[in-house]
Structure 1
Amino acid sequence: MQGISVPAGHWHIIANGFQGDLDIVITADGGVGGTIRIDVPTFDPIVGVWSESEQKIQFRRDVLVAHGTPQNYTGFLFEADESLLRESDYGRAVAPKYRVLTGSFDGTGTSVTRPLYGWLAWQLI
């Protein structure tokens, strides 16, 4: 299956209700680097891997405001149009189109009763 282009660039992110910015760099061998900024003004580094065949990203965020405690993110890439992100649907949207990453993460703030949280990132294309 031919995948969507790699998820490099600037993204808007919501992780467990906290909003911020996610900047992703993908190397030729599928390595992931960049920063995530949810705890303004702190930029936390991210490091991980991208799988083109699975359209899957995995990265670790070392949360600086929590003394470097890691959060481990896993997500999948897909494309969506405006109707996906609207409260009501008045017909098929032609534009805009989005690239979406969505998945789960563990780490800071998780507990035995709730080990995973959700996250969503989007980018206008």
Structure 2
Amino acid sequence: MTLGTARHTHVSDAGRDWYATVPTSFSFKDDRFVLHTNLGWLRERTTGNRLTWGIGSETELNPNNWLIAETFGQNQGKPNYQVGVRHWLVPGRVQIDATYGNRFGHIADQRWFSIGLRMLSVPFLP
């Protein structure tokens, strides 16, 4: 479970938003396909309470490359989606990913592209 708060410092009279999320993951075919879900709550000081949700997947294309996909949203408005690829630069330690995302029903005004670098450490807990 995640719990958190955010304060928007660029807004005068900035209050706090609060959130909670319960993430779950389900592994299939020896981790070659992983399904991720989350259900949560968001309390924005300007809009009140909302339900949040998400569902995503990681699908192994070959040992070094993965297809990633996700859709997420709130109980109001159209949801977002993103799709992309993830590649192991250093197997078991460093990944790079590239994704394209947008809001359903929008052509260009809310799209994004992202490139991420993920570094995994050696286990530090038994």
Q: TM-score, normalised by structure 2?
A: 0.45
The structure with the greater share of residues assigned to helix is 1
Q: TM-score, normalised by structure 1?
A: 0.46
The structure with higher relative contact order (CA 8 Å, sep 6+) is 1
Q: Which has the larger radius of gyration?
A: 2
